[in-house]
């Protein structure tokens, strides 16, 4: 018999080692996931909600919104729940706020340099980018201040209000533009060498103990004849959306593990573009500034409950809202596949009731 250099006993030892390592890794994943698997629940009355107020809220949700899932977390406990909260569906632009979270680890360990320009990264697109546009940095992409108005592969932004191509210097003009966000997703994968969905699974879903996350449900979409960069759409359940918000509320800490640094959470949820600098001009009459792919309540006369508050927003009625002053998170879903939507005015009314009824 030819000698391959290992005895049967040695092979058995190696195989046993592989099995033990695999088992230990699986047990560790299960341990981390188990730490946050299900929310502790308390009765709404604990926080001052009366039966009459809850009935009023429910009537509004049923009669005047198209909500398919709502979860309200206060002090880390589930206080209110409505609809099918474990159903996976499309998050629309809430994906951008989640990408901002994913960036943190790789910025802070030096893998991603936010000051790198698109020229240095070799980023271009079908219609070509000018030298001025290529001077935009990663930081400009993830704050929607790149000054690049190349068509995006998907709709759902303010590109119809964009200035002329090459008319703005990067960093000086805000416009909510899907080209920026999609390119930011491409850059993340290019620089880290990690697929966004694998990062989502390993850096957020497993550590947070997401109950419904499914890697196979995630998929990129877009017209790649318009732009080389697809939209990295995300499918989550409402109760797992709440965990995203709770992690932000807890400054990146989950069960004693610092999943995202406190400094990064504060950075991405702070104002980069204040209300008075928002574009198009009609946005200056609203209530939001913009951070790193999170919308920040920034109007002077807002109620105290909105102090330091911020939200992820997605088409059809996807929202993850964080209220530090109330130690509260609200996750809201309108399943886009139903061809229904819950607009901002209806969602704002739900928020007003959740906040006003709280003792």
Structure confidence by residue, pLDDT tens digits, 79-132: 999 999 999 999 999 999 999 999 999 999 999 999 999 999 999 999 999 999
Q: Tally Cβ neighbours within 10 Å of residue 48.
A: 10
Instruction: Tell me the pLDDT tens digit for each residue of 204-249.
Output: 999 999 999 999 999 999 999 999 999 999 999 999 999 999 999 9
- Asked, for residue 189, whether it belongs to a domain, the answer is yes
Domain CATH number, residue 198 = 3.40.710.10
- Would you state the pLDDT for residue 128? 98
State the total domains in the chain: 1
Question: Phi, psi (5° rounding) for residue 108?
Answer: -75, -25
Contact by Cβ (8 Å): 289, 273: yes
- Asked, for residue 136, whether it belongs to a domain, the answer is yes
CA distances from 275 to 169, 190, 297, 315, 320 (A): 20, 33, 9, 21, 20
- Would you state the pLDDT for residue 355? 95
Domain with 251 in it: 54-357
- Would you state the pLDDT for residue 11? 39
Residue 280: asked if its preceding bond is cis (omega within 30°), the reply is yes
- Asked, for residue 279, whether it belongs to a domain, the answer is yes
β-strands 40-41, 77-83: how paired?
parallel
- Asked, for residue 47, whether it belongs to a domain, the answer is no
CA distances from 202 to 38, 94, 205, 318 (A): 19, 19, 6, 23
- Asked, for residue 23, whether it belongs to a domain, the answer is no
- Would you state the pLDDT for residue 148? 98
CA distances from 333 to 53, 87, 212, 247 (A): 21, 10, 14, 18
Pair of tokens at residue 48: 């001052």
> Which pTM does this prediction carry?
0.89
- Would you state the pLDDT for residue 21? 44
Which residue ranges in the chain fall short of pLDDT 70?
1-37, 338, 359
Pair of tokens at residue 170: 């990067």
Give the span between the Cα atoms of 39 and 112, in whole angstroms: 34
Give the DSSP H/E element, type plus range, for residue 106.
helix 94-108
- Asked, for residue 38, whether it belongs to a domain, the answer is no
- Asked, for residue 217, whether it belongs to a domain, the answer is yes
- Would you state the pLDDT for residue 270? 98
- Would you state the pLDDT for residue 26? 52
Give the span between the Cα atoms of 104 and 205, in whole angstroms: 15
- Asked, for residue 35, whether it belongs to a domain, the answer is no
């Amino acid at each position: 018999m030819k000698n391959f250099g290992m005895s049967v006993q040695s092979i058995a030892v190696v195989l046993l080692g592989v099995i033990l390592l695999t088992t230990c890794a699986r047990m560790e994943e299960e341990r981390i996931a188990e730490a946050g698997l299900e929310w502790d629940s308390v009765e709404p009355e604990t926080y001052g909600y009366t039966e009459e107020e809850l009935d009023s809220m429910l009537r509004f949700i049923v009669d005047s919104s198209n909500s398919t899932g709502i979860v309200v977390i206060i002090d880390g406990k589930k206080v209110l729940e409505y609809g099918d909260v474990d159903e996976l569906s499309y998050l629309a632009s809430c994906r951008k706020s989640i990408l901002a979270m994913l960036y943190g680890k790789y910025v802070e360990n030096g893998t991603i340099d936010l000051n790198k320009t698109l020229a240095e990264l070799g980023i271009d697109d079908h219609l070509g980018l000018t030298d001025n546009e290529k001077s935009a940095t990663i930081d400009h992409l993830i704050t929607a201040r790149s000054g690049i108005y190349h068509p995006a592969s998907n709709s759902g932004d303010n590109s119809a209000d964009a200035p002329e191509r090459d008319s703005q210097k990067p960093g000086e003009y805000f416009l909510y533009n899907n080209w920026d966000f999609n390119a930011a997703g491409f850059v993340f994968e290019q620089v880290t060498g990690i697929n966004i969905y694998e990062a989502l699974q390993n850096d957020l879903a497993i550590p947070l103990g997401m109950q419904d996350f499914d890697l196979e449900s995630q998929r990129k979409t877009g017209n790649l004849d318009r732009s080389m960069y697809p939209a990295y759409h995300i499918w989550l359940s409402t109760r797992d959306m709440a965990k995203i918000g709770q992690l932000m509320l807890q400054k990146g800490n989950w069960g004693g593990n610092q999943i995202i640094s406190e400094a990064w959470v504060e950075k991405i949820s702070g104002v980069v573009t204040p209300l008075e600098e928002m574009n198009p001009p009609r946005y200056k009459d609203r209530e939001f500034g913009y951070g790193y792919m999170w919308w920040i309540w920034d109007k002077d006369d807002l109620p105290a409950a909105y102090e330091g508050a911020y939200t992820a927003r997605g088409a059809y009625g996807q929202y993850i809202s964080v209220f530090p002053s109330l130690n509260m998170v609200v996750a809201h879903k309108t399943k886009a596949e139903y061809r229904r939507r819950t607009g901002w005015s209806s969602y704002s009314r739900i928020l007003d009731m959740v906040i006003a009824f709280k003792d």
